[in-house]
Amino acid sequence: MDTKKDKKTTKIDIYKAWCKACGICAAFCPAGVLARDEAGYPYVKHPEKCINCGWCELRCPDFAITVHKKDKGFKDTDEEGEKEKLQGTPPPG
């Protein structure tokens, strides 16, 4: 598979229950990925343009947006699973 496309494949989750539609994420997205609907809530308009910079996540005052890097075989792992992945399996003995 072409690696270039892999690099730009991210998954953006917007947690609607906490979002207050302030528009900061959409306004300051450097790649123009996010747009706002009639009510002002953000939605992912161009997911392919995402560069995984994470500025929407850093500037969201309500912690309502996350950007996942979509790896091969990506799936939502729990905290312990991810920790294991980072540290690797412990050596035997």
Partner 1 sequence: MAEVTKLIHKYLRHDKKFPHVWCPGCGIGIMLGALIRAIDKCGFTKDEIVLVSGIGCTGRLPVYVDFNTLHTTHGRALAFATGVKLANPKLKVIVVMGDGDAVAIGGNHFIHAARRNIDLTAIILNNSIYGMTGGQYSPTTPYGMKTTTSSFFHIEQAFNISELAVTAGAPFVGRGTVYHARLLDSLMEKAFLKKGFAVVEVISHCHTQFGKLNKMGTAVEMMEWQRDHAVTVEKAAQMKEEELKDKFRIGILIDKELPVYLDEYEKIRTGSSGSGDRRP
The CA–CA distances, whole Å, from 26 to 11, 32, 62 equal 16, 7, 14
Residue 20 backbone phi and psi in degrees, to 5: -110, 10
**13 to 32: interface string for partner 1, x by CB under 8 A:** ----xxxxxxxx--xx----
Q: In this structure, which amino acid lies at residue 36? A: R
54 binds partner 1 (CB under 8 A): yes
- Closest CB 6 distance from partner 1, rounded Å: 16
52 binds partner 1 (CB under 8 A): yes
Binding interface with partner 1 (CB under 8 A): 17-24, 27-28, 52-55, 57-69, 79
